[in-house]
Amino acid sequence: MPDGIPNLTPGDSGAQCFAMPSLARKGRGAVSNPPVRFEPARREAFDDGWATLEQSFAELPPLPTSLTEDRAKSALSYNESPDLGFDRSINPYRGCEHGCIYCYARPSHAYLGFSPGLDFETRLMFKPDIAALLEKELRKPGYQPRPIALGANTDPYQPVERQLGLTRAVLEVLDRFSHPVTIVTKSAGVLRDSDILQRLAARNLVRVCLSITTLDPALARIMEPRAATPARRLQAVRELTAAGVPTAILAAPMIPAVNDMELERLLEQGAAAGATSAGYVLLRLPLEIKQLFEEWLARHMPDRAARVLSLIRQTRGGALYDSRFGQRQTGSGPYAELLARRFAVAMRRLGLEKRGGGTGALDCGHFAVPGAQMSLF
């Protein structure tokens, strides 16, 4: 593991058990760096009885963000999941500096040999050839266009995009090919590409979804420490709408007893800013995210941690997660059903369309390979 981010699991010094000291750092979401689940070896922290373990973690330095090139062989990832609403996606980055504690993409970092905890936020991979790879794939004979989900795993407008511009390069390719795309982000950085988005919107080729989890900046700071403030995200909706770019609000995730009481207000604010569609997702805790979220609750909300976890289990058949299609996004049981009804009532009242459905369908008929010989009539 890199310097400053020990990859340790709690141990037992003889008959004495101890709590692993927190690895929390300012500006980071996770408070630990759990081991990579595929590695056979584990290192355990050991308390020698002289409080040296606690002292060694007393004053941890800030964690810098590191970048490593990812020489991917393809740009598009395909899926057959029946509850996603798209069959292909593109992700210029692996890992995400926004540090959202609940991010369902965290476990994917283990495939790179990195921890889903602090590594996910600090050890980022970027694909320098992503735009060239995409163009190559779009030029393949027989390619059939369908909307590409940009940022389906990690945010395409996380802070590093300011320097690398990989997302912009992808959009430039999609613009030239007249290819439809949907974007999900927590960043107002999407406004930097308003010029391209306007051109795509004029051909019904784009929809931008701003994920807004809370209107409380203090809560946002601990849940998603390096994402744009809620107010800035709402302003991005306003500016995109004014530029003629269709926008949606994604109230996700809804966390019982943490931000679920804000659902209606989030939708109201989104509609007032110009969003025409919306969606929501119930908190998902696959694999290592269970541990990371429980640690986060214990640190930031110890007074209600047990209540939050109890409500989550009520929506997942007694467990903290249910991975079944059709259940993983919305859960089941009385609490989940009530949340779904609240969402449906607010949507009708505000005149919002369900995200990804009905009249919001993007147009795949404009797709054309630049420079290709025109068909003979």
Show me where the domains of the chain are located.
67-360
The pLDDT assigned to 111 comes to 87
131 compared with 83, residue with greater pLDDT: 131
At 229, is the pLDDT very low, low, confident or very high (cuts 50, 70, 90)? very high
Does the structure show a pLDDT above 80 at 221? yes
* 212 contacts 234 by C-beta, under 8 angstroms: yes
**Residue 181 pairs with which residues in a beta bridge?**
148, 206
Region 33-60: what's the mean pLDDT? 62
Region 218-241: what's the mean pLDDT? 97
36 compared with 281, residue with greater pLDDT: 281
Q: Which amino acid, 153?
A: N
Does the structure show a pLDDT above 90 at 215? yes
Q: Give the pLDDT confidence of 252-285 residue by residue, as tens digits.
A: 999 999 999 999 999 999 999 999 999 999 999 9
Q: How far does the chain reach from its first CA to its final CA, in angstroms?
A: 62
358 compared with 138, residue with greater pLDDT: 138
The pLDDT assigned to 46 comes to 56
Cβ density class 311-348: b for 16+ within 10 Å, e for less: bbebbbeeebbbeeeebbbbbbeebbeebeebbeebbe
Angle at the Cα of 113 from the Cα atoms of 108 and 117, rounded to 5 degrees: 60
Q: CA 54 from chain center: how many Å?
A: 33
Q: Give the pLDDT confidence of 328-370 residue by residue, as tens digits.
A: 889 999 999 999 999 999 999 999 998 755 446 899 999 999 9
Does the structure show a pLDDT above 90 at 36? no
Residue 47: both structure tokens together = 């308390």
- Report cis status (omega within 30 of 0) of the bond before 253: yes
Region 132-146: what's the mean pLDDT? 96
The pLDDT assigned to 58 comes to 53
**Among 369, 372, 208, 331, CA closest to 276:** 208
Does the structure show a pLDDT above 70 at 2? no
Angle at the Cα of 266 from the Cα atoms of 263 and 268, rounded to 5 degrees: 110
- Second-level CATH architecture of 67-360: Alpha-Beta Horseshoe (3.80)
The pLDDT assigned to 23 comes to 66
Residue where the block lists tokens 């369309």: 353
Other beta carbons within 10 Å of 367: 17
**Among 25, 162, 30, 168, CA closest to 105:** 30
| Residue 221 CB contacts under 8 Å (≥ 6 apart), including other chains | none
Does the structure show a pLDDT above 70 at 17? no
How many whole angstroms separate alpha carbon 116 and alpha carbon 2? 14
Does the structure show a pLDDT above 70 at 95? yes
Helix (H, G, I), strand (E, B) or coil at 44: strand
The pLDDT assigned to 24 comes to 64
Region 71-100: what's the mean pLDDT? 92
Region 316-324: what's the mean pLDDT? 92
The pLDDT assigned to 6 comes to 53
Does the structure show a pLDDT above 50 at 376? no
Residue where the block lists tokens 């800013």: 273
How many whole angstroms separate alpha carbon 69 and alpha carbon 203? 34
Q: Tell me the CA distances in angstroms from 18 to 41, 49, 51, 124, 301, one per residue in order.
A: 21, 10, 11, 32, 21
Q: Give the pLDDT confidence of 151-195 residue by residue, as tens digits.
A: 888 999 999 999 999 999 999 999 999 999 999 999 999 999 999
Q: Following CA atoms 273, 279, 285, 289 in sequence, which dihedral angle do they give, to the nearest 10 degrees?
A: -30
**Among 9, 14, 21, 19, CA closest to 45:** 9
The pLDDT assigned to 355 comes to 72
Average pLDDT, the chain: 88
The pLDDT assigned to 47 comes to 56
* Residue 351 backbone class (left: φ over 0; alpha: ψ -120 to 50; beta: rest): left
